[in-house]
Amino acid sequence: MCGILAVLGCVDTSLAKRYRIIELSRRLRHRGPDWSGLHCHGDCYLAHQRLAIMDPASGDQPLFNEDKTIVVTVNGEIYNHEELRLKLKSHKFNTGSDCEVIAHLYEEYGEDFVDMLDGMFSFVLLDTRDKSFIAARDAIGITPLYMGWGLDGSIWFASEMKALSDDCERFISFPPGHIYSSKTGGLRRWYNPPWFSEHIPSTPYDPLVLRDAFEKAVVKRLMTDVPFGVLLSGGLDSSLVAAVASRYLSEAEVARQWGSQLHTFCIGLKGSPDLRAAREVADYLHTYHHEFHFTVQEGIDALEEVIHHIETYDVTTVRASTPMFLMSRKIKSLGVKMVLSGEGSDEIFGGYLYFHKAPNKEEFHQETCRKIKALHLYDCLRANKSTSAWGLEARVPFLDKNFLNVAMAIDPEWKMIRPDLRRIEKWILRNAFDDEKNPYLPKHILYRQKEQFSDGVGYSWIDGLKNHANQHVSDAMLMHASFVYPENTPTTKEAYYYRTIFEKFYPKNAARLTVPGGPSVACSTAKAVEWDASWSKNLDPSGRAALGVHADAYKEENLEKNPAPQISTAPNDLPPKQAVAEAAAMAAV
């Protein structure tokens, strides 16, 4: 990941202002330690801190068109840049950077080119010919972007809040899938997939189509000129990413540069569930596995730095970000600059355990849509900022635009958790990769139930955080929390403790409002309580709040003895008897 800062329409154009922009841009240097760039044009400044992933030798930013009338500063990766270059044969490219296509696409197609980009990105583009500019963020918000306004009428954009919070009176998290145009003076949505509407999809489930779309999503993210690996927790999502990447490396061109053995990484307290599960998957896939340990005290000692980097006080995000932050430092020390990660799958397929309580497919689908739309405030924010704190880039194949379109078009009846049909959460994903002839993963791993990341690194991690918070937050402090923090009032001592740290770094009201609020409930969603009121009794957002969901029917040992019913993956074969019976049962619902 890189760091971008753009200030447009400044009244002050003095040398002191330039130095101030440079100073603020340095606050993002952790995101891009490889090079710094700044372009000034009148009252507009575009700054960049580069993490060199593609074309390290010549891809420094800001980037330009041929006559340098169009300037762009970008944070992200454009996976289809070679395909886009073919559409721009009349243009001359000066670098091998995947992001240079943005300047030329704008010159060729105007502001409506953004939907042509396949990747993760946030960028600001200045057209010096008429001093107009646009800013845009990728479809889901994988890369962070903030937008602010100065008292002098200037508009600011930055990858992280810390670069603009001191100089802007008001700022917001730039909404995913949107573009801001100075010509119209407002935001508009450029990403409008069918699943955004209230319409309930009806496409039949085809395991081969789903599998193929995911494999392509993983493979395109292996586009790199630097060493890379996979974050492997041993859960379903990261294990599938590792399995697909490992298969591809054995025959891919990239293997000639970095070797055909995939590197995988995992962190946890000694003896934690994730460490055991990840080692088992790594042994099966024959990856070069790196296992990192941390202690509860080491995690607690890092909390202030973590919250400063991730810019949120959300309890679940802080819990999960801390081990990821510590792991990223270790990974970077090995010379690795890019990793693949499994974020997004639980939102797409209803993988969180409270989805067991979904009353019907309509509500199931609507909840998955809501979760995906909020990812930029939670898991995307965590994955990006925890890794970028150490100059490491995280790529997330489950949030690939095409894969999302395929997965979200499937009739949600297929995603429903159905104990009567032996379907656990994310069954359609598990089934898609259940290949008897050429297994991607062992069955017991493929059908292993979800473990929340902050739990999986070691159950004593959360207990340690709570105990630490209890020592620093008194009963009286929590009782009067609504007077101290009237917005997004913390309801637990742990939440109160994180809030005090956040306020120390980001004291403005605009900063605290960039964090999603509301009372903390089981699985961090009020929908769980709506589906089952008993969940309201547990204020802890940990996966352990889902007591009673881990029914005996879903335990691993039973799944090994009675694996989930399979659908034929041969396109021209008749489905097996079990699938026919299953289809009949579904038709009766």
Handedness of CA 69, 75, 77, 80 (dihedral sign): negative
CA gap 32, 131 in Å, rounded: 27
Task: Using DSSP, state whether 75 is helix, strand or coil.
Answer: strand
Angle at 398 between CA 518 and CA 61, to 5 degrees: 90
Task: Using DSSP, state whether 485 is helix, strand or coil.
Answer: coil
Q: In this structure, are residues 193 and 404 in contact, taking their beta carbons and an 8 Å threshold?
A: yes
CA gap 479, 232 in Å, rounded: 41
CA gap 173, 14 in Å, rounded: 29
* Owner of token pair 């810019």: 311
- CA nearest to 343, candidates 380, 371, 311, 312: 380
Q: Tell whether residue 122 is among the known ligand binding residues.
A: no
Q: Report the run of H or E that residue 281 belongs to, with start and end.
A: helix 273-285
Say whether the peptide bond before residue 541 is cis (omega within 30 degrees of 0): no
CA gap 28, 342 in Å, rounded: 25
Q: Tell whether residue 98 is among the known ligand binding residues.
A: yes
Q: Which two tokens stand for residue 209?
A: 């189509």
Phi, psi of 305 (to 5 degrees): -65, -40
Ordered DSSP codes for 94-151: -S--GGGHHHHHHHHHGGGGGGG--EEEEEEEEETTTTEEEEEE-SS--S--EEEE-T
Task: Using DSSP, state whether 523 is helix, strand or coil.
Answer: helix
- CA nearest to 157, candidates 455, 168, 520: 168
CA gap 588, 578 in Å, rounded: 16
Q: Strand order of the sheet with strand 70-78? A: 63-64, 70-78, 119-127, 132-137, 178-181, 186-189
Task: Using DSSP, state whether 542 is helix, strand or coil.
Answer: coil
- CA nearest to 275, candidates 316, 238, 320, 234: 234
Set 2, 168, 266, 380: catalytic member: 2
Residue 43 to residues 6, 167, 173, Cα–Cα distance (Å) = 11, 16, 24
2 is catalytic: yes
Q: Tell whether residue 167 is among the known ligand binding residues.
A: no
Q: Report the run of H or E that residue 270 belongs to, with start and end.
A: none
CA gap 140, 130 in Å, rounded: 30
- CA nearest to 275, candidates 454, 465, 458: 458
Residues making up the annotated binding site are 98, 231, 267, 341-342
Which residues are catalytically annotated? 2
* Binding-site residues from annotation for L-glutamine: 98
Binding-site residue numbers for ATP are: 231, 267, 341-342
